[in-house]
Amino acid sequence: MNALKSNPIIQKIADNNILRMALGAVIGAVLGYLYWKLVGCNSGGCPITASPYRTTIIFSLLGLVFARKEKKK
């Protein structure tokens, strides 16, 4: 774990809020597409996983939420 903290590239991403949120959105979108492709709903009855676009957007928004930095008090 200390090796990640000493890596300057990882540290730059951790310090830059916009870069971290963009990376979180991209990772979330990729995971959303993979979820649709591997697990998805073929019948169309599942509102989230019926469309690859909808699944990708929802997962990218989740990636944004998880990637945002909490404000220190």
DSSP string, 18-40: HHHHHHHHHHHHHHHHHHHHHT-
Tokens for 57?
């957007």
Task: Give the amino acid at 47.
Answer: P
Single pTM value for the model: 0.74
pLDDT at site 50: 81
pLDDT at site 58: 94
| pLDDT, tens only, 14-72 | 677 788 888 999 999 999 999 988 888 877 778 877 888 999 999 999 999 988 876 66
Do residues 29 and 21 make contact, with C-beta atoms less than 8 angstroms apart?
no
CA distance 19 to 24: 8
